[in-house]
Every structure is written in C-alpha cells, then in structure tokens.
C-alpha cells in the first residue's frame, strides 16, 4: 500500500493542507517541498493581504507606496487582475467601488498554483493542495483524489464529490465569509438565489476567477464558464438543489 502523509498550516486566515501519496510521501524531499509551499504562501499573504497594515496592498491604499515603487510581483498580479476583468466582462474586478484595490479574489488561486510548482518537482508523488476549499491536485499515478464540494448550508457536509488526477476545483459563495462579494455592475453586494458556484478545470487561478465571476453573474452563471475551454461548474441553490454544466464530472451524490 502506498505511503500517505499530510501537513496543515494556518495561512491567509484559513487552513492550508497538503496530502501526499506514493513512495516519496515520507521522503525528506517531499517534506522540504511542502515547507517551501507553506513559506511561499506566507510570503504571498505578507505582500497581498488587505488585513495586514504593512502589506503592499495596504501601503498602496494609504498612499504610502506608489505603483512605480512596488515589487514587480505586485505589478504582475495587477496585470493578471486586469486580464481577469477583461476575460469575465468586468464581473471579476479587483478595483473596489470606493476606488481601492483588492486582488484577494485572484491572489489565492495564483499563489497556490505557483507554490504547487514545488510539489511538481518531486517525482513519483501524488499530491492534493487544499487552501480553504480551493484545491489543486496532481497524481503521477493517475489514481485520482476525491474532492468534496462543501454544502454551503452546512460546512460539516458535502453536496457531492469530484474525482481529479490533475487540475483544480474552486468554489465561490457567501457561506464561509458572508456577503463579502460585490457586483461591479451595481457597486453593491451580490444578490443571488445561488449559495455557491464551484468550478473545475486545469488552472486554479482561472477556476477561482471564473467561480467568482460566475457567482456574481447570478442566473447566467453557466455562460461565464464558456470564457475558457476546459472548465465546468456546479451551482448550489438555497433549497439544496444542484445544477451542473454538461461536462461536470458525474461523480458523487447529493447530501440531501
């Protein structure tokens, strides 16, 4: 039976875990790679967290730092946010109604995907990197991990599961953090009968962006996933009913 090992740290205000499987799971190389993953995510939080007074985002907001003076990685993320806004027709927008800039909706997926490169360098290793429910996996064995989609009505339950041997699953909604998402079309909180939208596809950065934009889109959310090939979605209604796009993997069952 293949070795298994797990690690977990609290980063970005949420649990970040790595589950490794295979002959290399207990190796020093795997442990070192995981520590590098955590360190990289801690650094991303230091730079981009709007809740840290010394982050680049906070310094920019207070006018204590100019765009010409920021670390190049901040300008890279700003450019990625601009591309995400164009991709989603403005439904994903890091520019806030008050004129501020908050790239949080992109940073987590981008940072997790970038940090995951450390794990890709470990041969013969299956791994699942989970950052507060946004998941990135790669299985050299082609034996998939089962990813649970959390029930937005009850965080102790799942509404369904998805099997993935590579790629990502991201979820957007108001269950975990309340009405924190705004609609760029109105400048106010998102109003929707959908409690969450999950997106599965090749890239966690893009899945995260598309999940956010789809949730903001409301009734038209499935059309948002047509912006990029290879992405499928699952919406959860307030009454617990599920609606999936045609290519959503038919794995798992509703929690009821």
Q: Which residue in this structure is represented by tokens 């027709």?
A: 89
What are the structural domain ranges in the chain? 4-244
Structure tokens given for 140: 């050299």
pTM: predicted TM-score of the whole model, two decimal places: 0.92
Residues 151-173 have pLDDT tens digits of: 999 988 999 999 999 999 999 98
Q: Quick check: 3 pLDDT over 60?
A: yes
Helices 72-87 and 28-48, interaxial angle, to 10°? 80
**CA angle (160 as vertex; 152, 91 as ends), nearest 5:** 55
Residues 6+ apart with CB under 8 A from 121: 33
Own/partner contacts of 3-11, CB < 8 Å, gap of 24 or more, are 5/30, 7/31, 7/34, 7/38, 9/38, 11/38, 11/41, 11/42, 11/45, 11/131
- As a whole number of angstroms, the distance between CA 233 and CA 250 comes to 12
Assign domain 4-244 to a CATH class: alpha beta
How confident is residue 175, by pLDDT bands cut at 50, 70 and 90? low
């Amino acid at each position: 039976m293949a070795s298994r090992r797990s690690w977990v740290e609290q980063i970005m205000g949420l649990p970040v875990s790595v589950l490794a499987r295979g002959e290399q799971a207990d190796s020093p190389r795997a442990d070192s790679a995981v520590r590098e993953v955590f360190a990289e995510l801690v650094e991303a939080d230091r730079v981009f967290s709007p809740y840290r007074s010394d982050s680049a985002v906070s310094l920019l907001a207070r006018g204590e730092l100019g765009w010409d003076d920021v670390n190049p990685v901040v300008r890279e993320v700003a450019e990625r946010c601009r591309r995400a806004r164009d991709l989603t027709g403005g439904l994903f927008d890091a520019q806030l109604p008050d004129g501020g800039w908050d790239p949080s909706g992109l940073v987590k997926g981008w940072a997790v995907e970038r940090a995951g490169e450390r794990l890709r360098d470990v041969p013969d290793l299956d791994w699942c990197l989970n950052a507060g429910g946004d998941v990135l996996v790669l299985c050299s064995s082609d034996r998939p991990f089962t990813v649970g989609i959390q029930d937005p009505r009850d965080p102790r339950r799942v509404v369904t599961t998805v099997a993935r041997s590579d790629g990502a699953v991201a979820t957007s909604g108001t269950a975990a953090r309340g009405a924190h998402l705004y609609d760029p079309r109105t400048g106010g909180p998102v109003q929707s009968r959908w409690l969450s939208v999950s997106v599965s596809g090749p890239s966690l950065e893009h899945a995260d962006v598309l999940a956010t934009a789809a949730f903001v889109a409301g009734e038209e959310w499935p059309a948002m996933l047509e912006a990029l090939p290879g992405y499928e979605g699952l919406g959860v209604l307030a009454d617990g009913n599920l609606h999936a796009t045609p290519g959503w993997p038919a794995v798992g069952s509703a929690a009821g």
